[in-house]
Amino acid sequence: MEHVATTGIISVNLYEKSRILSTSWNTCETAEEYITGIKDFHSLYWQVKPRHTLWHNQNCGFDIPPDLQAWTDVFLNVSAIKAGFDGKVAILVGDNMLHLLSLANLFEEGTANVTSRFFRHTEEALAWLEKKSPLQPIAPPSIKVKSLEDGRSEISLEINSEALNEYIFLLNRLLKSSIFKMSHAEQFAKLSAREKEVFQLIVRGCTNPVIAKSLFISIDTVKTHRKNIMQKLRCRNVQELLQYAIFVQV
């Protein structure tokens, strides 16, 4: 393995035979350190032009906010894809779950079509990057619930290493859904009982004539309910409206 460079924020090495660029965070606790590290990597990436990239994020505790996620996607991922990068990105994880979920969200919400995967061990990551190890079927997790003080509970999952990537993305979606539900519950409560009935049929994909027939109302009345629902939930289109589906049984 060839040493490429060490900055105050990251250390970079190259697996010459497989052309894997391996980057370790020496520190990453603030937005300034994160941005500096990404810019340092960006410069080194274009010097090396690797086939794949491997990130050691065990020492990175920074929870990447949405604005920096979008910046990273454009500055790093999109630019690499446009220049012809079609390799894989492997990320070795540490214990900071918020950092991992922010990374998962970066890849899931980003516009760059990057093939990424999370790993716990370097050997697993390298085997995946070098196509030496087929992915194993995901086994059911072992779930434990523990009661804590002050009415709180703790849920723990024990999973096989092969399932780590899938559960990180699942947890990210669950967290986003939970945050959305808590922050928009008051708005959804403003809907009348009839509007909630119409809303439930909308998110099921029903057309205005079908809704009218199901609720024994006119199509014009359905259109009025649709308009009021959109206004009360502050939605500009149906895609935004569908985010509220978590409030009903579909």
Residues 13 and 115 in one domain: yes
Q: Is position 175 within any domain?
A: no
CB 90 within 8 A of CB 129: yes
Residues 209 and 110 in one domain: no
| Amino acid letter, residue 180 | F
Element (H, E) at 3: strand 2-6
CATH number at residue 80: 3.30.750.24
Instruction: Specify burial of residue 138 (Cβ count, 10 A radius: 0-12, 13-18, 19+).
Output: middle
CB 243 within 8 A of CB 179: no
Q: Is position 159 within any domain?
A: no
Q: Is position 232 within any domain?
A: yes
Domain boundary among 135, 163, 181: 135
Domain boundary among 115, 135, 155: 135
Tens digit of pLDDT for each residue in 180-221?
A: 888 888 999 999 999 999 999 998 899 999 999 999 999 999
CATH number at residue 233: 1.10.10.10
Q: Is position 131 within any domain?
A: yes
CB 61 within 8 A of CB 31: no
Tens digit of pLDDT for each residue in 23-61?
A: 999 999 999 999 999 999 999 999 999 999 999 999 899
Residues 129 and 199 in one domain: no
Residues 8 and 79 in one domain: yes
Q: Is position 182 within any domain?
A: no
Residues 39 and 121 in one domain: yes
Residue 121 has pLDDT above 60, yes or no: yes
* 113 CB-near residues (< 8 Å, 6+ apart): 81
Q: Which residue has the higher pLDDT, 224 or 144?
A: 224
Tens digit of pLDDT for each residue in 92-112?
A: 998 888 898 999 999 999 998
Q: Is position 129 within any domain?
A: yes
Domain range spanning residue 68?
Answer: 2-135
pTM listed for this prediction: 0.72
Residues 117 and 202 in one domain: no
CB 167 within 8 A of CB 156: no
Residues 128 and 232 in one domain: no
Helices (H) and strands (E) in the chain, counts: 10, 8
CB 22 within 8 A of CB 1: yes
Q: Residue 152: left if φ>0, alpha if ψ -120 to 50, beta else—which one?
A: beta
* Residue position matching structure tokens 């009021």: 228
Count up the domains in the chain and report the number: 2
